[in-house]
A and B are shown apart, each in its own frame.
Chain A
Amino acid sequence: MAKKIIYTFLLSFLLLASASCDKYLDLKPQDGIVRQEFWQTKEQLAAAVNGCYASLLNSSLAEKLFLYGELRADMIQPAIGVSSAELNIINVNIESTNAITNWAPFYTTINYCNTVINFAPQVLESDNTLTQNQLNAYVGEALALRALMYFYLVRSFGDVPLKLSPTASDTDDVQIPKSTQAEIFAQIVKDLKLAEEYVVTTYGNRDQNKGRITKYAVNAMLADVYLWLNDYNSSLTECNKIINAGQFGLVAGDNDWFSTIFYQGGSNESIFEIYFNANQLNPFYGMFASSVRRYRAALKVGEEIYTTDLIDPTNRDIRGNGAALQMNDNSIWKYQGINSSAARSSADSYAHWMVYRYADILLMKAEALNQLGQGQAALDIIDTVRERANALPATARTPNPTDKNEITNYLLEERAREFAFEGKRWYDLLRNARRDNYDRIDLLLDIVSTTASPENQQSAITKYRDIRSHYFPIYDYELQTNKKLIQNPFYQ
């Protein structure tokens, strides 16, 4: 009998053990959804697309959108809290160990976009309330955001790795070499063209229309991209699409101008802006407002770019004192002001980040027109923008309509006034400097005298003469972890 017991026991034991083991060990998380169960409904798809936008609120990305556009330009000066990494960039002493050159936040958003682009079509199979058009609209938003990120990268680094598939598993290849600028731009244009076809013109709600990608936002990006590629006719076409749509206009240049556009946000002038909110503040309070702020406005912003009317101080460029900056202490005001005098508290630091607004379209059009030999039309647009802002006569210029260079200078000055601290200055300078085989490299060389510290100016000028130095190095960490990358030529 004992034997019988033993056999029964052993048998049932083995059966139990082997049969239930696999089930027993198969555990799923309860705090999130696993990919295998995601991508089932259009609500999930909408939330994932919204996640791409939410990733733009990551403070390290927002900070870089500002730093990449302003650090090497002439509109800011370092203040007490500035880090040595930032100072090194200001002094054109950029090494590959400089953490500012870490491009990871851009690729994080790119990865989220890639995830949507790759997995979204699955939803069609499981959710039949989703139409192909709706799917396309969602995919279009991701395509446009991805293109925008690559546009920032290609202008900042030159050649960068082009990653178009999501990283979902540790078997996915993340060792990717650089693609050339031409390849990146080809992809950007391709994505934007597709996005233009896919995305909606309106979401039926003002904030959605301004905070998400619409067809007009795609047109704006295309206009900017074509301008960079010196394709002026295409750029002009894209600008005209927006202008002729009749959906946008300049906000009146009265005392509420600053508050309407930058405090309230979502103005008639806005085409695409990033909506920070009380739950996710922007990083600008610490950068511009706190006692240990990192940046102030450069001296010349108040003195030369906007100037003051010494006789009647109330006669002012509405974009200057009390808007872009406070001239009394040169603090950068754009992201911390409620109106010209009242400031946001640290807990309310959620000013939106402007990506494109109508004034930008007008001035891009002017730039295209100027390059196409229509100088007078360009000057007329500049005047429109100036009149709206009550620009002071001291900053007015009267270039000959056939003098492309002079109009370019005037345009750049006006863009500086209009888009001060909006992360555009360096790209504006570089775009114009590189035109016609770096015909206007003087634009970059000239700013060095006001940016780099005296002992660094000579070496900075020497470096800027080498056009390869206009792009950042690849961060060491990337070289360490991606063996297929080769350091950018200037930094080898």
Chain B
Amino acid sequence: MSKILQLHFSFWLAALVFCLTNQNIYGQGTGAGLTIKGRITASSDNQPIIGATITEIDNEQRIINGATADLEGNFVLKVANPSNRIAATYIGYKRVVQQIGDRTTINIKLEVSSNELSEVGVVARRTVSNGLLQVEERNSTVGVASINARELEELSSSSIDQALQGRLPGIDIAANSGDPGAGMQIRIRGTSTINGSSDPLIVVDGMPYETEIPSDFNFGTADDQGYAALLNIAPSDIEEISVLKDAAATAVWGSRASNGVLLIKTKRGRVGKPMVTYTLRGTMSKQPNAIPMLTGDQFSMLIPEAVMNRNGTPLNTEIVKEFLYDPSDPYYYYNYGNNTNWIDEITQIGYKQDHNISLSGGGEKAKYYASVGYLGEVGTTLNTGLKRISTRINLDYDVSDRIRFRTDIAYTHTDNDKNYATNVRGIAYDKMPNMGVYQYDLQGNNTGLYLSPLSNIQGEYPGTYNPLAMLNGATNNVINERIVPKFNLQYDFIPELFSTTFDVQFDIDNTKNKSFLPQFATGRPINEDVVNRAYDGDVDRFGIQTKTNLLFTPKLGEKHELVGIVSFLTSDNKTTSFQELTSNSASPNLQDPASASRVRSLSSNFSQGRSVALLANAQYSLLDRYIINAAIRGDGNSKFGPANRYALFPSISTRWRVSGESFMQQFTFINDLSLRASYGQSGRAPGGNYSFYNIYSNFAYDYLGSPSIYPQNIELSTLKWETVTGKNVGLNLVLFNNRFDFDLDIYRMRTTDLFFDNLQLPGISGYSNIDMNVGTMDNQGWEINIGGTPYKSRDWTVDFNFNISRNVNIIREISEFYPREKGNATANGQYKTFLQENTPFGSFFGYRYKGVYTDAEATIARDKDNNSIIGPDGQSVFMRFNYPFTDYVFQAGDAIYEDINHDGNINYMDIVYLGNGNPKFTGGFGPTLTYKSRLKLTAFFNFRTKYQVVNGTQMNTTNMYGYDNQSTAVLRRWMNPGDITDIPRALWNSGYNWLGSDRYVEDASFIRLRAITLRYNLGKGLMERAKLKSASVYVTGENLLTFTNYTGQDPEVSTRGTDPFRVAIDNSMTPPTRNIVLGLTVGF
């Protein structure tokens, strides 16, 4: 354990022992022993209460002595000090406290406590928290959005981030894939960094929750996207989720919080009888219909035509036997004479069951919440699934009025079966449909084995393979064990004035990934190193985080309010990983890496990072109208060299409650009108550890039998904190008896000293790239949130909420060494992207598609006035592509690209702006109808509008360029002169019919009925008869309706990855499924 923690601990123990012993001496010093007798009875029937507890408590409510009532309700209690009081408690009865005085016999009657008891005190105003300071929501100076988890529990999502989609303004959550266990991309107010992680910091119950995995761990064949944002917290354990957006709010969390903070509060026990709650959600999921593809027969007509079109030479089916269709050659006839729908072959109906049982309750001193959950999911792609067991125990114990402690322990086990190859679905789309699933032998008998030829005309692994063999044969299993114990101690030095809390959280997070690729999934010859390839990787992470808060709440009279906090935080994260990749085991049944014959790679890694922070934060309010919150945070991080290790980040925010001013009192319909403004900075540390050292490593091989060492990196001695400076102005308006509220925020987040990973370096340095601070980037935009209850009567309530936001991401300044463009406009399938200062990200450029040249006449080049262009030889010139370099002459049936400059030549000068992959507006809305608080109908829509997506699937399925299967759209392709169509001729491996053009660019705006739920709460009478405390059943439909003009599989396409040149391309990952959820919640 780290040194500082030890110090911390010893200090704390000492302090604690001091406090306790001090009081003990104090407590025992006065008064002699005294014995009290008595009887405890119920006030209703005077019957003894067996097992009632009688305790002696001091003036801090600390228990000194205790006893239990016997079968007659009698008790004997030795009292240490007669000036203390005694308390009698029993579950289900109200607590009674009495002075002892000189009495030696005390009889106590207990009253039955009613159910309402635990609900007293709910009148308090709603509070929000920045994770450290709990302030009333109406006094919050910063942009915070909260959502009560009750609104989310009806969804089928296995992870809460899925459920949050579109619910909160300014938060854009997009699915990476619909496969079980796939992560989500969460962006709060856009992306504030180019290369670094853009995922927000997640804080669970006041302590940061690690979601990143070390970058050097590659999980074999899987991508880290799948892990990044998966939050393994059972949704039913969550009480509330808040999102801190503006910089003044995030500044208190410092490094990593610059992407925003997601605060999650889990449920805790409440005083009352034990309450058992069982929730069940059963979900059935179905994939939306796939894009219709050619059958084997249609495909076998297309290919010879495409080859013929190339240069007039027909396809030689004697060599290319895949299209021979000759019954006298049974091997090819049966194996390549099929009509296989590969997508159907790999798709299934998905099921999910989610059980959660929780027990909560508590008495005067102790409160508890414990839950156990099981989630079992079968994905819609064959052999994908997720199993999760999650448990949580949240304990609160009040030692006395001044000392309290809380212990939370959460354990999660996840077992995720993933696809070995991430592109199985893409391969299935492309796979030649005339191929069969199972192999026929030379005599034409079905062997029952998968048809996985070494290679065929379409190619070989990894370009193509048998998707069914891949899904059924290859495995890729990730097992994660995570235990997060957390301890919290609170001590009030001076009650109501000065208190302190100490938190320590351990995080044990072990992941094991095993995968295996059998020979029959690829068909490769046995001596190749992809055959029977086994991978086993382990990454064990251990984290310790501590937080020490000193909270100061002086009473300054009626007009003033001041809350101050000083917080000291440390974090220590260690990761060890071990990975082994071997191949060529003797049989596909020998799947352990140890049994394979060839070691491909073997690596182990240890890495450690630490950070400390000291924060001072205070909120002051005057006359309830003028509120100011200021904070300063000092950060230190081990990822920086000594020169730049520490940094200071200030923040300040204010709120003016206009409605509190006297001149506003006449507008009685206004409950609250406030203006907010904030400014704040927060710093981000880089991803890698030790980068400020020049590290010498071994080559993976020797030279002449001796070890060889080389300097592996450049020492980054100048790397400094990336700083996000946020400015925010906002407005809160609450009207008509709190029935309507309106929030508006306008912000600009400027990232300076932008981290740039892998900035290119000149080759003469001996290295190819370096991480540096370069440039400045802005995220700016606005958010509106409207909520209200437009109609309310005795029986009916109609609630409505709506949120919308817009964010723009702009580079203001960037290193001169950074390349400014990407993409080759003279190659098929590529779009051009540029990186320009003061222009938003995500724009892409290409040609304009104008249809198909119907005949040779149409390919004559024409100038601006539509006259044909005459060449030097006096003849009409035909349209050319990229003269003089490529100099392809367009033929009838080829794609027409608009000749923007009318020079008869399609080249880079004809490239125009085609779109931007970032949505203009995102948000959600939905009504809730409640009838007699028994029947409730909730609908929720989310939307993303005005963004352009490259329909990559359409591009790949209509290009007729290779041997990949094509969609049924190509049935209307150009075939003969005079054909008027929008699909060019089939042209195998030549021509320029699928250049990056607007043909594949589509507006992917959509509005989706994300969820609709009908919920019925059982009536009181019914519940009492069934001895239930609460019961409800509901049915939810998810993703039932999507309104969009997008023709691809699913319009929700996120720009994945960190490349600033990235274009939103839809390659038909497993799309979000349509789900029907049946749920049941019973409390007893």
Is B708 a contact of A107 with CB atoms below 8 Å?
no
Contacts A24-B4, A54-B703, A481-B762 given; does A48 touch B11 at CB 8 Å: no
Q: Mark B1-37, 1 if CB is under 8 A from A, else 0.
A: 0111001100100010011000000000000000000
Contacts A31-B605, A477-B760 given; does A168 touch B714 at CB 8 Å: yes
Q: Mark A67-90, 1 if CB is under 8 A from B, else 0.
A: 000000000000000000000000
20 more A-B residue pairs beyond the given contacts A24-B3, A172-B714, with a C-beta to C-beta distance below 8 A? A2-B493, A5-B18, A5-B19, A17-B568, A24-B612, A25-B610, A28-B693, A34-B696, A35-B693, A50-B707, A50-B709, A54-B699, A107-B763, A115-B711, A167-B765, A168-B715, A277-B703, A475-B763, A480-B819, A485-B762
A46 beta carbon closer than 8 Å to chain B: yes
Q: Mark B315-356, 1 if CB is under 8 A from A, else 0.
A: 000000000000000000000000000000000000000000
Bound together, the chains give a CA A165 to CA B1019 distance in angstroms of 83
* A54 interface neighbour in B606, B642, B701, B718, Cβ under 8 Å: B701
A439 beta carbon closer than 8 Å to chain B: no
Residues of A close to B637: CB separation below 8 A: 25
A240 beta carbon closer than 8 Å to chain B: no
Is B710 a contact of A51 with CB atoms below 8 Å?
yes
Is B817 a contact of A481 with CB atoms below 8 Å?
yes
Bound together, the chains give a CA A167 to CA B762 distance in angstroms of 11
Is B694 a contact of A16 with CB atoms below 8 Å?
no
Q: Which listed segment binds A: B49-57, B167-175, B509-517, B767-775?
A: B767-775
| B55 CB, nearest partner CB in chain A, Å | 26
Residues of B close to A298: CB separation below 8 A: none
Bound together, the chains give a CA A25 to CA B647 distance in angstroms of 14
Residues of B close to A207: CB separation below 8 A: 704
> Please, which residue of chain A has its CB at the minimum distance from the CB of B645?
A25
B557 beta carbon closer than 8 Å to chain A: no
> Please, which residue of chain B has its CB at the minimum distance from the CB of A47?
B709
| A412 CB, nearest partner CB in chain B, Å | 32
Residues of A within 8 A of B (CB): 2, 5-6, 9-10, 12-13, 16-17, 20-36, 38, 44, 46-48, 50-51, 53-55, 57, 102-104, 107-108, 110-112, 114-115, 161, 163, 166-172, 174-176, 207-208, 211-212, 275, 277, 279-280, 345, 347, 475, 477-478, 480-483, 485
Counting chain A CB atoms within 10 Å of each CB, the highest count among B707, B711, B772 belongs to B711
Is B707 a contact of A6 with CB atoms below 8 Å?
no
The list of the 4 closest CB pairs from A to B, nearest first, reads: A111-B766, A104-B763, A54-B708, A279-B701
Bound together, the chains give a CA A56 to CA B695 distance in angstroms of 20
B122 beta carbon closer than 8 Å to chain A: no
B599-620 contacts to A, CB under 8 A, are 604-612, 614
Residues of B within 8 A of A (CB): 2-4, 7-8, 11, 15, 18-19, 493-494, 498, 500, 527, 548, 550, 568, 570, 604-612, 614, 636-638, 642, 645, 689-690, 693-697, 699-704, 706-712, 714-719, 760-768, 770, 772, 816-817, 819
Dominant SS at the B interface? mixed
| A222 CB, nearest partner CB in chain B, Å | 24
Contacts A6-B493, A279-B700 given; does A169 touch B714 at CB 8 Å: yes
* B498 interface neighbour in A6, A31, A103, Cβ under 8 Å: A6
Is B817 a contact of A168 with CB atoms below 8 Å?
no
> Please, which residue of chain B has its CB at the minimum distance from the CB of A106?
B763
| B746 CB, nearest partner CB in chain A, Å | 38
Is B689 a contact of A29 with CB atoms below 8 Å?
yes
| A36 CB, nearest partner CB in chain B, Å | 8
Is B11 a contact of A16 with CB atoms below 8 Å?
yes
Bound together, the chains give a CA A21 to CA B642 distance in angstroms of 12
Residues of B close to A114: CB separation below 8 A: 766
Is B704 a contact of A50 with CB atoms below 8 Å?
yes
> Please, which residue of chain B has its CB at the minimum distance from the CB of A274?
B703
Contacts A25-B636, A481-B760 given; does A275 touch B704 at CB 8 Å: yes
Is A104 a contact of B768 with CB atoms below 8 Å?
yes
Is A170 a contact of B696 with CB atoms below 8 Å?
no
Residues of A close to B699: CB separation below 8 A: 51, 54-55, 280
Residues of A close to B498: CB separation below 8 A: 2, 6
Bound together, the chains give a CA A20 to CA B819 distance in angstroms of 43
Residues of B close to A161: CB separation below 8 A: 764
Residues of B close to A167: CB separation below 8 A: 714, 765-767
> Please, which residue of chain A has its CB at the minimum distance from the CB of B712?
A32
Bound together, the chains give a CA A103 to CA B766 distance in angstroms of 10
> Please, which residue of chain A has its CB at the minimum distance from the CB of B497?
A2
In the assembled complex, 8 residue pairs joining A and B whose CB atoms fall closer than 8 Å, in A order, are: A23-B3, A31-B695, A35-B695, A55-B699, A169-B716, A176-B762, A477-B763, A482-B764
| B139 CB, nearest partner CB in chain A, Å | 27
Bound together, the chains give a CA A53 to CA B693 distance in angstroms of 24
Is B638 a contact of A174 with CB atoms below 8 Å?
no
| A81 CB, nearest partner CB in chain B, Å | 14
Residues of B close to A29: CB separation below 8 A: 607, 689-690, 693, 695
Is A35 a contact of B770 with CB atoms below 8 Å?
no
Is A275 a contact of B703 with CB atoms below 8 Å?
yes
Bound together, the chains give a CA A482 to CA B695 distance in angstroms of 25
* B766 interface neighbour in A9, A28, A108, Cβ under 8 Å: A108
Is B610 a contact of A168 with CB atoms below 8 Å?
no
| B615 CB, nearest partner CB in chain A, Å | 12
Is A211 a contact of B704 with CB atoms below 8 Å?
yes
Residues of A close to B765: CB separation below 8 A: 107, 111, 163, 167, 172, 174
* A35 interface neighbour in B604, B708, B715, Cβ under 8 Å: B715
Is A27 a contact of B704 with CB atoms below 8 Å?
no
Contacts A32-B712, A38-B696, A51-B709 given; does A26 touch B4 at CB 8 Å: no
> Please, which residue of chain B has its CB at the minimum distance from the CB of A12?
B11
* A480 interface neighbour in B493, B766, B768, B817, Cβ under 8 Å: B817
Bound together, the chains give a CA A51 to CA B708 distance in angstroms of 4
